[in-house]
Structure 1
Amino acid sequence: MHFSGLAQSYKVVTVPAPGGLEKSLGDDWDKIDSVVVKGTINKADFQTLYNCSRLGKLTVLNLEGATIEGNRIPDYALFYPNITDDYLNIQRIILPDNVTEIGKYAIAVMYLKKINFPSSLKKFSKGSFYGCHWMEVDPLVIPEGITEIPWLCFGHCQSFRKLVLPQSLKIIDGFAFYNTRMDEMNLPEGLDSIGNSAFWSSPLLRRVVIPESAIHLGMGAFAQTDSLRSINIPLGVTEIPDLFLAYSNEIDTIIIPDGVTRIGNSAFQMDYDLSYVR
């Protein structure tokens, strides 16, 4: 995999032991705009990379030849919640083929544009990519083997337009795709649950087909989907939750299955064109 466009100068670094990246980079650590890392790295090395971007010029991070301890990108690897003055200026990340998990808020709140998801990846975590507004991975293809999109995992990621979810997916947790700009997605058969506000404020989404396997729908799951014109309710659903489709002005028809025994408060609030519910 090669760099294009972003990088002007780069350094190849082999880390002799986990935690040794800072020393290996040398005195010009704050002048490097692209780094190729080899060897085994840990959370301390991710902190070094964070500093190279926040305090220096690093924009491209190539970990293709690296091994990450436990094959897991650590929680808060490149994000520090107590530092909120700006987005981190890392714009491209190349992950190694052996990564299996991305930790909590590991790659959050940055100017990230490009990242690869290796087929080895099996687990995301809470807020893994939260606030990566400019992530241009389009379509955004979630690898097979992923069973859950956790809370706020891709919240506020606004630059992809098509979402491709794997057949292995069982749970989309609350706020998982909150405030995104996708206009096309699939919800695979076998999906069990769509959490609270999972797709709230997805204003470009036009059509949603919920699989019959999905029997739990969360509060506000598809609220404020301003362009939505078509959505179904699976036959096994017994309750339509509060605010489920509120503030979705373009929807005009909802077919309610016979098994529904409760329609929650404000489930269709301010859906002005809704004229036929049965």
Structure 2
Amino acid sequence: MLGLTFVMKHPLRYFTITLSLIVAVAMQATEVNVSPGLLERAVGDDRDNVTTLIVTGAVNAADLHFVCTSLPSLETLDLSGVTVEAYNGKTLVANRGDFPASTLPAYILSGLKASTVILPGSITSIGEGAMMGAAVQSLEIPAAVRSIGDNAFCGCDGLTSVTIPATVEDVGRGVFSSCRNLKTVSYGLHDIPASAFAGCTSLVSVETPSGLRSICREAFRQCVSLAGFDYGTSLVTVGDFAFSHSGLEEAVMSSCSGLSHIGKQAFGNCDRLTSVSLPDGVTTLGAGAFLDDTALESVNFPAATRTVEPYTFKGAAAVNDASRLLSGDVDSIGAFAFAGMDKVGEVVLPSRLADIGDNAFEGWLSLNTIRAEEIEGVPSLGNDVWAGVYAPGVFLYVPDDLKGEFMSAPQWKEFNITQSGTIDMTRELGGMPSTAVSVAWDGPTLTITSDSKPIETVKLYDIAGRLLHSCDNIASSTFTIDTGGFTTDFYIIHVTTPPAAVSFKTARR
């Protein structure tokens, strides 16, 4: 009655007072001490207005399910003072109705809207998907926790920093996957599980223990902001796709003396990766390990690896020096293993190489020399091994006793085959008899001499067919070119002494 009278006489003041009451209700904090299964009764009918909930006593999965599904305004949840009891009853989440004690139950707080959550200090494990997709912005793993289940915090976009202490003994796959705003991680275990941080697109820093042993499948896949990673000295294995599509700029693992396995596409599609350093003890380098790493310039092939798997370096177009791409004991090169390296001019084939797969060296447009002087036999070739390579313009150096076999072998016979220890300084490609025109080298100076008519024009090309030098109207029997400014040692020369013309291959001494 007093309120009604007040409204009629002082409407503005009533409006103000009523507004104040509404704000007070909207910011309601509730603190309750409960027994398992009684949290809903303790909160009461005003559940829609609870923004802060502090719980002590004991709860079970049913109580936590109530918190997640029935408190729409909840911003802060403090469970630090509770113990979690076992639950066996009606199905709550993910078709489950049986949850153990001392565990944050599986999926029980999945999708929780509260931005601040303090987990029970007494729990020893965090269940699978326990807080998947929750809006939590900060997280502290209780000291008593020994295990964290698969996808426990997957998709928690509010997280920016997490610490997994060394006291945790087991972490499931995908534990922080797709946490898109996660920037820094401190990780205390020696093994990083599969997909642990996959899709964490803002991740820039990962602190790991000195004894890190393994990085499992897809652990950092699509971590596009991760430019560097400390591999330590104890790493043994890097799983399939572990860093694929990440932002890594270098991968320095040369100090990992025990590293033996790098999985397929482990560093594939890292378009900012420029340098890779591997220890010689690596025995397995998976298919596509560095697939389409378009910025990769420097990499060494481990001495203990015998097989170059398919697609290992395919698309590494920035590599221009192949001297470290093949170890001396490699016996097999898989399909497309080195395809697309269009800047490499020379490759040395290992002595034990026995077979080369389809399109293995496709697109080596700058290739001018294949050195196979130490090879023990003619390697068998798959289809189109050298697709796109102008084979007649490539010098192939082979042992004396194998020259005949190379010259009769499909694909190999297309090259300019030369016995080991010799250099075919001039090879006639066409036109007038080569005795009419000769070439000679004096250091970088190339001299062209005509024994018959005056030289009219000279054009100098590299082996890939790019024009390096051209001169017309020479009208002399000799002509010299200083090749000191050119990086290649192998050339094609086209000489005209009208009406005749001749072309030569030649190699600078």
Change in Cα spacing, 1:144 to 1:239, as seen in structure 2 (3 Å) is closer
CA–CA distance in 2 between the matches of 1:101 and 1:73?
Answer: 6
Within the alignment, does 1:174 sit opposite 2:190 as a pair?
A: no
Determine the structure 2 residue equivalent to 1:37: 55
CA–CA distance in 2 between the matches of 1:212 and 1:61?
Answer: 41
Shift of 1:227: 4.5
Within the alignment, does 1:63 sit opposite 2:79 as a pair?
A: yes
Q: Is the 8 A contact 1:52 1:58 kept in 2?
A: no
Q: How many residues align?
A: 258
**Aligned counterpart for 1:258 among listed residues 270, 280, 294:** 280
The residue correspondences of 1:36-185 to structure 2 (distance < 5 A) are 36-53=54-71, 56-69=72-85, 70-79=101-110, 87-136=111-160, 138=161, 140-166=162-188, 169-180=189-200, 181-185=202-206
Aligned-partner residue type, residue 130 of structure 2:
A
Determine the structure 1 residue equivalent to 2:214: 193
TM-score normalised by L of structure 1: 0.86
Shift of 1:120: 2.2
Determine the structure 2 residue equivalent to 1:83: none
Determine the structure 2 residue equivalent to 1:275: 297
Q: Is the 8 A contact 2:157 2:182 kept in 1?
A: no
The superposition leaves residues 171-226 of structure 1 with CA deviations (integer Å, 9 ceiling, x where unpaired) of 21110111112211122122222110001111111211213322121101111112
Say which one has the larger Rg.
Answer: 2
1:114 aligned counterpart, secondary structure:
coil
CA–CA distance in 2 between the matches of 1:251 and 1:175?
Answer: 21
CA–CA distance in 2 between the matches of 1:37 and 1:107?
Answer: 18
Aligned-partner residue type, residue 61 of structure 1:
L
CA–CA distance in 1 between the matches of 2:249 and 2:221?
Answer: 12
Q: Which structure has the higher relative contact order (CA within 8 Å, separation 6+)? A: 1
Aligned-partner residue type, residue 32 of structure 1:
V
Q: Is the 8 A contact 1:206 1:230 kept in 2?
A: no
CA–CA distance in 2 between the matches of 1:23 and 1:182?
Answer: 42
Q: Is the 8 A contact 1:208 1:232 kept in 2?
A: no
Shift of 1:149: 2.9
Q: Which structure shows the higher helix fraction?
A: 2
CA–CA distance in 1 between the matches of 2:131 and 2:247?
Answer: 29
Determine the structure 1 residue equivalent to 2:258: 236
Shift of 1:33: 1.7
Change in Cα spacing, 1:88 to 1:118, as seen in structure 2 (3 Å) is closer
Q: Is the 8 A contact 2:47 2:70 kept in 1?
A: yes
Aligned-partner residue type, residue 298 of structure 2:
Y
2:290 aligned counterpart, secondary structure:
coil
Determine the structure 2 residue equivalent to 1:249: 271
Change in Cα spacing, 1:230 to 1:214, as seen in structure 2 (3 Å) is closer
Q: Percent identity?
A: 27
CA–CA distance in 2 between the matches of 1:146 and 1:65?
Answer: 21
Shift of 1:248: 0.9
CA–CA distance in 2 between the matches of 1:74 and 1:93?
Answer: 15
TM-score normalised by L of structure 2: 0.48
CA–CA distance in 2 between the matches of 1:39 and 1:88?
Answer: 21
Within the alignment, does 1:218 sit opposite 2:239 as a pair?
A: yes
Q: Is the 8 A contact 2:158 2:181 kept in 1?
A: yes
Q: Is the 8 A contact 2:221 2:243 kept in 1?
A: yes
The superposition leaves residues 37-81 of structure 1 with CA deviations (integer Å, 9 ceiling, x where unpaired) of 11100111111111124xx222211112222223221111112xx
CA–CA distance in 1 between the matches of 2:176 and 2:249?
Answer: 20
CA–CA distance in 2 between the matches of 1:62 and 1:262?
Answer: 49
CA–CA distance in 1 between the matches of 2:286 and 2:251?
Answer: 20
Q: Is the 8 A contact 1:147 1:171 kept in 2?
A: no
The superposition leaves residues 1-50 of structure 1 with CA deviations (integer Å, 9 ceiling, x where unpaired) of xxxxxx932111111x2111111111112221221111100111111111
Determine the structure 2 residue equivalent to 1:203: 224
Shift of 1:107: 0.9
CA–CA distance in 2 between the matches of 1:212 and 1:35?
Answer: 46
Change in Cα spacing, 1:258 to 1:116, as seen in structure 2 (3 Å) is closer
CA–CA distance in 1 between the matches of 2:116 and 2:286?
Answer: 43
CA–CA distance in 2 between the matches of 1:52 and 1:191?
Answer: 42
The superposition leaves residues 116-158 of structure 1 with CA deviations (integer Å, 9 ceiling, x where unpaired) of 222222221111101101113x3x2212212333200000112
1:207 aligned counterpart, secondary structure:
coil
What RMSD in Å do the two structures reach over aligned CA positions?
Answer: 1.8
Determine the structure 1 residue equivalent to 2:435: none
2:45 aligned counterpart, secondary structure:
coil
1:36 aligned counterpart, secondary structure:
strand
Shift of 1:159: 2.3
